[in-house]
Amino acid sequence: MIGYGFVTVFSYLVCIPVQNGLYRQLGYWNGLLEITIILLFSIICLPTSYRYYITDWVNGDYGFPRFVLEIYIPTLIILLPLLVLSRRFAARKSVASSAPIPPTILTKSDWIQLSGTNKLDILRLRPDQLIALSAANNYVTVYYLEEGSLRKKLLRSTLTKMQEEVPLLLRVHRSHLINPHHFLEWKGTSTAVLTQLEIPVTQAYKKDLLDRLQFRP
């Protein structure tokens, strides 16, 4: 059993970089991705387990089809619920440990308030929620995160006014401001991949973004 334990741990460790890469690329996680990782785990674990089964340490005499039907599948049926529950428990702990400070504890300086010309056009966000702003005629589209999902709100204002109100924003295009902390990677040479969003970057502002990324904490 110790040997099978090592095989299981090895197979799971191989899956972790793939899982992390998918999450960084997509910026979200859902049931389909969870099933994909579990299938990848099984694809790695099954042949590795069988190779261990036919070694001199175990000296198993089942062929591969019989091993799958009589040993691997019954074992997987028992272990799969435990694997899923342990992953969900770990995910909840991770979310809880990185949960934002409750609004009642946040000070005034911990919030960003975006305002339009209409008195009802007000959006209050934490700095980590704000992703980008895009000009749309006489309006500005605000892209932000709410419970891990991308949201957007239209405010009657200008990018110049918004940039003055929120110094952390950086202009990367005459029609776009971004929060550099949400930058993930470059797509080609003129598109910035942010959290759940892609924004074009013009050559005139590219150096400013590169400089800001170099000194980003």
**Could you state, in order of their start, the residue ranges of all structural domains in the chain?**
2-97, 108-214
User: Is the model more confident about 46 or about 82?
Assistant: 46
Biggest CA-to-CA distance, the chain: 78
**Region of residue 115 (phi > 0: left; psi between -120 and 50: alpha; otherwise: beta):** beta
95-117 per-position pLDDT tens digit: 444 444 344 343 445 788 898 88
Range of weakest confidence among 70-79, 183-192, 199-208: 70-79
Rounded to two decimals, the pTM is 0.51
Q: Which CATH class for the 108-214 domain?
A: mainly beta
Contact of 195 with 185, CB cutoff 8 Å:
no
